[in-house]
Amino acid sequence: MPVHQGGGVVNQPAPTPLLSVIVPVHGVEAYLHQCLDSVRTDVPADAAGAVEIVAVDDASPDRCGELLRAYAATHPGVRTVHLERNVGLGPARNAGLDVATGEYVWFVDSDDWLPPGTVPAVLDRLRAHRPDVLMLDHLRVRDDGRREVDASSHLLRGIPGVVRLADRPGLLRVQHTAWNKVVRRSYLNDLELRFHPGWYEDIPFSNPLLIGAERISVLDRVCYLYRQGRQGAITSTRSGRHFDAFDQYDRLFDWVARRHPDQRLRGELFTLMVNHMLVVVGNDGRLHPHLRRRFFHRVAAHYRRHLPPGGYPRPGGVAGLKHRLVGRDNYLAYAVLRQAHRLAGWLRQGPGLAGWLRRPVAGPEPAALVDEPARTAGPPVERDALAGRSSR
C-alpha cells in the first residue's frame, strides 16, 4: 500500500505471508465454500497478512471456477489460478506452489476442511519451532457424520520440541499424505520435490519430506477433517488407475537411492510399500475383481525389484503370511486366505460362533503356505498403520 515518507510517496512491499494454503479444486462444488471458509474465518484478526489462500481451479467441470472468482473478489487474501485443462491433483498442487509466496505451504484438499482453532495453532507452532516439516493429526469423517481416529494417529503422541526421523522412526508410518504436513517452502526447493502426475501422488512426495528433514515438529491436535466416501474420490473409485501406485513407488525408491541410500530406511519403506499394496489389492472399492490377479502379480514383481539385500522387518501373523505369499507370487493361496478371512469375519457376526472362532489353532502352518524364515533388519513393525490408509 502507498506510504507517505519524507514528502514523497514510496511503494512499500507487502509483507511475506508466513503460510500459504494451497487448495486444488476439481468437481467439489458442494464442498468448496466449507473448505475455504474453514481456513479464512480461522485466521486471527491480528494475523490477516500472515496467511494467503491459493485456490487452483483444475478445469473443474462444475461451477467451481465461477465460485472461486466470486470468492476471491470478495475476500482479501484469496488468490486463484485457473488451469485451461485438467491436469490432476499433483500437477494442480504444483501450479499453486508456483505462485505461493508464503514461507510455509500447506496443501489442503477442497473436499476437506479444518476444525476451528487450527490456523492459530499452526501459526503459533511455526513461529515457535521454525521446522522444516510440521506434522498434524486428523480425523476421518463419514457420510453420516461419524468421526474416526486414524490407525496411525497414536504415532504422533508425546513428541515435544523438534526431532529428526532418526529420533522418531515411527513417524514414517504416519499416513503418507501431503495434507497432514506443513512444509517450509525453501526446504521443498532444497529437496527438489514436486508432485508427479497420476494417482497416489503423495507417495514420492510425503515420505522424502520426513526423510530429509533436520527439524520435524508435531502438533498433537486434530487439525484436519478428512472426508470419506465422496463419490469420485480415489479411495472409493474402482479403476485401473490404482496401478499408478507402482510408478509412484518406483519414484520414491529412486529418490531414496540417490539422496539417502540407507539400507535400514529402505527396509522400512519396503514394508510400508507391501502393506499399502496389500490394502489396495484387497479392497473391493478400489479394484474390480477381474483386475485383482494382475495387480497382485505386479505387487510381486515390485517385491522382487525393491527387496533390500539385507532383508526387511516383515510383520508377523496374517500380515506376515500375506507378505510371504507376495514374495512367492502365489495368488491362488492369497485368494484362498482372503476369502477365508472374509468368511471368518462374516461368521463372527453370527450368534454362538464368536467363541468357537476365537479358539487357538494348534499345529504348524499348512505346508503350502510355509515360506523361508522372516528376514529381519531392525525391530519388527507395529500393527499395520496402513490398514486405514488411503490416498485421494
Query: Can you tell me the mean pLDDT for 281-299?
Result: 93
Check residue 275 and give its pLDDT: 95
Q: What is the pLDDT, as a whole number, of residue 361?
A: 35
CATH, range 14-230 = 3.90.550.10
What was the pLDDT predicted at 163?
97
Residue 119 CA to its chain's centroid (Å)? 20
Q: Tell me: the pLDDT tens digits for 239-255?
A: 899 999 999 999 999 99
Q: Above 80 in pLDDT, residue 383?
A: no
HSE-CB of 26 using CA atoms within 13 angstroms: 19
Q: Enumerate residues 6+ apart whose C-beta is below 8 A from 2.
A: 9, 10, 11, 12
Query: DSSP character for 137?
Result: E
User: Distance (Å, rounded) from C-alpha 257 to C-alpha 238?
Assistant: 32
Q: Which grid coordinates belong to 106?
A: 500447506
* Strands in the chain per DSSP E: 2-5, 8-11, 19-25, 51-57, 78-82, 104-107, 133-141, 147-149, 162-163, 181-184, 216-227
What confidence tens digit (pLDDT) does each residue in 341-357 have? 777 766 666 554 444 34
- Residue 291: count of CB within 10 angstroms of its CB: 17
Residues 6+ apart with CB under 8 A from 294: none
Report d(CA 2, CA 282) in Å as an integer. 61
Q: Give the Cα-Cα-Cα angle 370, 373, 377 (nearest 5 degrees).
A: 140
- Average pLDDT (196-205) is 95
Q: What are the C-alpha distances in Å from 271 to residues 168, 177, 218, 235, 326?
A: 17, 17, 24, 21, 12
| Res. 297: pLDDT tops 90 | yes
Domain ranges of the chain: 14-230, 240-388
Amino acid in the structure at residue 218: V
Give the pTM: 0.83
258-280 average pLDDT score: 93
> Where does residue 111 fall: left (phi above 0), alpha (psi -120 to 50 degrees), or beta otherwise?
alpha
- % of residues, the chain, pLDDT over 70: 82
Give pLDDT tens digits for 99-124.
999 999 999 999 999 999 999 999 99
Report d(CA 23, CA 88) in Å as an integer: 13
- CB-hemisphere CA count at 13 Å for 55? 31
Q: Looking at the DSSP assignment, which residues form a beta bridge with residue 53? A: 21, 78
Strand 19-25 and strand 51-57: pairing?
Answer: parallel
Name, in order, each residue with C-beta under 8 angstroms of 18's C-beta and a sequence gap of 6 or more.
Answer: 50, 51, 102, 103, 104, 123, 126, 127
pLDDT tens digits along 21-79: 999 999 999 999 999 999 999 999 999 899 999 999 999 999 999 999 999 999 999 99
- Report residue 249 as a C-alpha cell: 513407488
* pLDDT of res. 34: 97
Mean residue pLDDT of the chain comes to: 85
Percent residues over pLDDT 90 in the chain = 72
